[in-house]
Amino acid sequence: MSIIVQKYGGTSVGSIEKIKAVAKRVIAEKERGNSIVVVVSAMGKTTDQLVELSKKISQNPCKRDLDMLLSTGEQVSISLLSMAFQEYGYDSISLTGFQAGIITKGPYTKNKISDIDIRKIKNYLNKEKIVVVAGFQGINEEGDITTLGRGGSDTTAVALAAKLECECSIYTDVEGVYSVDPRLYKHAKKLNTISYEEMIEMASLGSGVMETRAVEIGWKYKVPIYVASSSENIKGTYIKEYDKTMEEKVITGLSLNNDIVMITINNILFKSSNIADIFEKVAKENINVDMISQTSPLNKRVNISFTISKEDSHLIKKVMREIKSKNKELEILIEENISKISLIGIGMMNQSGVTGRVFRALANNKIEFRQVTTSEISISYTLDSINRERAVNVLAREFNL
Amino acid sequence: MSIIVQKYGGTSVGSIEKIKAVAKRVIAEKERGNSIVVVVSAMGKTTDQLVELSKKISQNPCKRDLDMLLSTGEQVSISLLSMAFQEYGYDSISLTGFQAGIITKGPYTKNKISDIDIRKIKNYLNKEKIVVVAGFQGINEEGDITTLGRGGSDTTAVALAAKLECECSIYTDVEGVYSVDPRLYKHAKKLNTISYEEMIEMASLGSGVMETRAVEIGWKYKVPIYVASSSENIKGTYIKEYDKTMEEKVITGLSLNNDIVMITINNILFKSSNIADIFEKVAKENINVDMISQTSPLNKRVNISFTISKEDSHLIKKVMREIKSKNKELEILIEENISKISLIGIGMMNQSGVTGRVFRALANNKIEFRQVTTSEISISYTLDSINRERAVNVLAREFNL
């Protein structure tokens, strides 16, 4: 008999009918002879609705109170799911974050799990109970109820699996991890396996299947993570350690990010402190800078481009106006209709020529790109948004994604 | 500087606007130099809605899970109220039942407070924070979240005041305790004070201002309880220890209970085991028997009347059919349009003639009563419901209520 941690997200427990359906799926797994820990999120849009409620009192509510408020969402889910198990004749126990022994630290609304006291859960598993744990929440050393921020329930599930030394299944509204988002490229292939490293690149580059933090924990503790549909009984994707069988493919996946703004500053007097000044001003406004590319100086003048999230578009304009007003010689260009395409694959590390193939494929289709940046296992390009669909199709075909 | 515990019920925190209004009232009290602990219930009809939700999964949901579910209602209220304090510039801390140190025991959904570890609350009060505590909930020795059943928030508030050795104010949707329900008798007077004993009789006899349990705790620990309106700034009623100044009035209050059924069994062979048999059968169905009156036997035959709650009407008919089928000689009468009027007053203990005055007043108005029972500080009558309004008016005038 082995232990399995299963996680069901908000959409999967979005109604009473869906909660009953989840209960039946879990019971089926239990009937195969496994011990089950189920981690659940708040029902549907509950968390958003609670945030809205708090905004009616304060635009900037006390974050400790916000954690107190938001954590009720998962508490409702666990109690209803546990009732469903018992209605179907199975013994179960619902546990909030603190009852499940999930100790956290950090700033409210963005806590991290620092430890899990697993004894209570083990004790209930030994008694043959289905253990239902509230995702997204824990308790800090002061005894305050805390939440884990975006993707927090995934983190709870993977961290529990790490402690219980078992596999973690993430059941969600997608059917697994695809090489390309199927909404972008209808021939996209579902992956049987993907390595932790690749998944982290995919996730942080905009593929919304799982939060990066959860995959990082999985990687650190070597937890096999299985991502699959919560409603259909079809094969999903394993996220696990890289092994040789994965090496056949050069590129594992492609991700697209439309929500970006590209800033180009030309004619900067070449001095590292000048560039530092610019990025310091950007950082001061809490604007997250993504791709940065700089070309080699010509006549002691240098050009630099970088991208930021579209949500900071208003702020960056303010910063750039200030910079321009003090440095009249600078040429500043802010482009808003920009997309970013990234190709990810561990295979890239051992195979040369990927960049050449990309350049050729795009050139053959008359698609111009603006910027290129690379990491060990990924290459990212920015291009005009108008070309993004064609570019996705060209590259997906080129690398058989 | 003194500590005050204030409790606001579900109606008083039924909307965001009402929560803000409560915050302002508490702040006004704080500004008078007092340290405040605020106990709140779930917003409006939240608890009922959560019970409804659970019924969609199970008609008889696991009670541990039901406690887990219901306790979220108060957790939402405390976080929102605490946010409001901070929005108005006051330091506050929200605490769930377990965080406030409220230890309970007993069956789920009907736990009782066994102890309160008051250190955390005292610590926050010393730091000048407004302490916001979730009513109706606690934690048992196994670490399960529990609820206290009907009137649980009143119980939380009074128990906290007992531990903190301070006064407890219950703010509610009535303006205090009236000698008679103002909906029944428009000239009803609001009482300045009432003794714990009288309040318990009033509460258990159907006057819905406060739950009996909370008053009992107040009595046991000598907590002065102030009941007043949560929306108007008008003088309420003190529930406190009986003192001589209260003695002037013979009768403090009158309460009416319409939801009763009266059963009369005639021609019982006079043997105590026969009567015991009847009440054993009634008890077996968990039917709560209220007023019992028996007349002296005649020809070795005895007649007995008793009342029960209307909600058990269906059950009692079943029991009576069974009894009749085995004891053909019995005459059984079940009357459903029956009301019960009770007169309560500690003054009654030292003054004779109350019963006489009641009989005379009713007789003068041609109102017949069915049964009479008495306790040290109360007299109760049953009568045909059709006469109840006239009877309330006659008795309220007679005793100047």
Residues of B in contact with A20 (CB under 8 A): 57
Where do the domains of chain B lie, and which CATH numbers do they carry? 3-173 (3.40.1160.10), 254-398 (3.30.2130.10)
Residue of A nearest to B68 (CA): A79
**CB-CB under 8 Å, B58 with A83:** yes
Beta-carbon contacts of residue B400 (< 8 Å; ≥ 6 apart): B189, B249
Helix axes A212-221 and A196-204, enclosed angle (nearest 10): 170
Contacts of B143 in chain A (CB under 8 A): 99, 120
Sheet holding B167-172, edge to edge: B92-95, B130-134, B35-40, B3-8, B167-172, B225-229, B237-240, B193-195
Number of H helices, E strands in chain B: 11, 18
- Model confidence pLDDT, tens digit, residues A8-38: 999 999 999 999 999 999 999 999 999 999 9
Per-position DSSP letters for B65-122, written without gaps between them: HHHHHHHHHHHHHHHHHHHHHHHTT--EEEE-TTTTTEEEESSTTS-EEEEE-THHHH
How far is it, in rounded angstroms, from Cα B196 to Cα B215? Answer: 6
pLDDT at B8: 97
| Contact between residue A95 and residue A38 where contact means Cβ atoms under 8 Å apart | no
CB A86 to CB B62 under 8 A?
A: yes
How far is the C-alpha of B100 from the C-alpha of B135, rounded, in Å? 10
Question: Given B56, B62, B99, which is nearest A82 (Cβ)?
Answer: B62
* CA gap B268, B271 in Å, rounded: 8
> Residue B42's pLDDT is what?
97
| B165: region left, alpha or beta (phi > 0 left; psi from -120 to 50 alpha) | left
pLDDT score for A319: 93
Distance from CA of A52 to the nearest CA of B (A): 11
Residue B343 has φ and ψ, to the nearest 5°, of: -110, 130
Low-confidence ranges of chain B (pLDDT < 70): 1, 203-208, 244-248, 350-352
List of chain B residues whose C-beta atoms are within 8 Å of the C-beta of residue A72 = 72, 75-76
Mean pLDDT over the full length of chain A? 90
Nearest-CB residue to B82 (from A62, A80, A120): A62
One-letter amino acid for residue B175 of the chain: E
d(CA A126, CA A91): 12
Query: What pLDDT sits at residue B339?
Result: 92
Contacts of B86 in chain A (CB under 8 A): 58, 61-62, 65
Query: Which chain A residue has its CA at the smallest distance from B58's CA?
Result: A87
Q: What percent of chain A has pLDDT over 90?
A: 59
What was the pLDDT predicted at B175? 87
Identify which of B64, B69, B143 has the shortest CB distance to residue A80.
B69
Q: What is the pLDDT of residue A350?
A: 65
Closest CA to B80 of A58, A144, A41: A58
Residue B389 CA to residue B395 CA, distance in Å, equals 10
* A177 and A190 Cβ atoms separated by less than 8 Å: yes
What sections of B141-271 are H helices per DSSP? 152-164, 196-204, 212-221
What the block records as the tokens of B399 is 């005793």
Mutate to test the interface with A, among B16, B24, B38, B62 (most CBs of A within 10 A): B62
Task: Enter the tokens of residue B44.
Answer: 């409006």
Inter-helix orientation angle A46-55/A63-87, to 10°: 150
Task: List the single residue in A with minimal CA-CA distance to B60.
Answer: A87
- Closest to A87 (Cβ–Cβ): which among B19, B58, B94? B58
Residue B164's nearest CA partner among B226, B217, B223 is B223
- How many residue pairs bridge chain A and chain B with CB atoms within 8 Å of each other? 110
- And the tokens for A12? 């999967």
Q: Give me B190's structure tokens.
A: 């609001």
Say if residues B251 and B178 touch (Cβ distance below 8 Å). no
**DSSP state at residue A207:** -
Q: What is the pLDDT of residue A171?
A: 94
pLDDT at A275: 84
Specify the amino acid at residue A321: R
Facing A94 at nearest CB: one of B16, B54, B65:
B65
User: What is the reported pLDDT for B38?
Assistant: 98
Closest by Cα among A134, B157, A41 to B148: B157
* Of the ranges A156-165, A237-246, A306-315, the best mean pLDDT one: A156-165
Instruction: Catalogue the E-assigned strands of B233-287.
Output: 237-240, 253-269
Mean pLDDT of A52-68: 96
End-to-end CA distance of chain B: 37
C-alpha count within 13 angstroms, C-beta hemisphere, residue A3: 23
Average pLDDT (A358-363) is 87
Please give the Cα distance from A216 to A113 (Å, whole number): 13
Q: If you measure CA to CA, which chain B residue comes closest to A68?
A: B79
Q: Is the pTM of this model over 0.90?
A: no
For residue A172, give how far its alpha carbon lies from the nearest alpha carbon of chain B (Å): 22
Q: Note whether B65 contacts A50, CB cutoff 8 Å.
A: no
The pLDDT value recorded for residue A244 is 67
CB contact under 8 A, A96 and B68: yes
The beta-carbon neighbor of B94 closest among A65, A76, A82 is A65
pLDDT digits (tens, 9 = 90+) for A204-249: 555 567 888 899 999 999 999 999 999 888 999 999 988 766 556 7
- The minimum CA-CA distance between A343 and chain B, rounded to whole Å, is 44
Give the H/E segment covering residue B396: helix B388-398
pLDDT band of A80, cuts 50, 70, 90:
very high
- Residue B21 in tokens: 């209004």
Nearest C-alpha in A relative to B63: A83
Question: So what's the pLDDT on residue A140?
Answer: 97
Residue with tokens 């916001």: B132
The strand ranges marked E within A14-99 are 35-40, 92-95
**Residues comprising chain A, all counted:** 401
* Contact (CB<8Å) A87/B56: no
pLDDT at B2: 92
Cβ distance B79 to A66 under 8 Å? yes
Instruction: State pLDDT tens for residues B198-253.
Output: 888 886 555 567 888 899 999 999 999 999 999 888 999 999 998 766 556 778 88
Q: Which of A68, A86, A120 faces B94 most closely, judged by CB atoms? A: A68
Taking an 8 Å cut-off on Cβ atoms, the answer to whether B65 and A83 are in contact is yes
**Contact criterion met (CB below 8 Å) for A214 and A39:** no
Residue A138 has pLDDT above 80, yes or no: yes
d(CA B255, CA B238): 18
Q: In what order do the strands lie in the sheet with B102-105?
A: B112-116, B102-105, B137-139, B145-147
The tokens of B191 are what?
Answer: 């009482």
Give me A91's structure tokens.
């013994």
Sheet-wide strand order for A193-195: A92-95, A130-134, A35-40, A3-8, A167-172, A225-229, A237-240, A193-195
Query: Interface of chain A against chain B, CB under 8 Å?
Result: 16, 19-20, 50, 53-54, 56-58, 61-62, 64-66, 68-69, 71-72, 75-76, 78-80, 82-84, 86-87, 93-94, 96, 99, 120, 143-145
Q: Do B62 and A83 touch (CB under 8 A)?
A: yes
Contact flag B53-A19 (C-beta cutoff 8 Å)? no
pLDDT at B246: 58
The residue of chain B nearest to residue A132, with distances taken between CA atoms, is B65
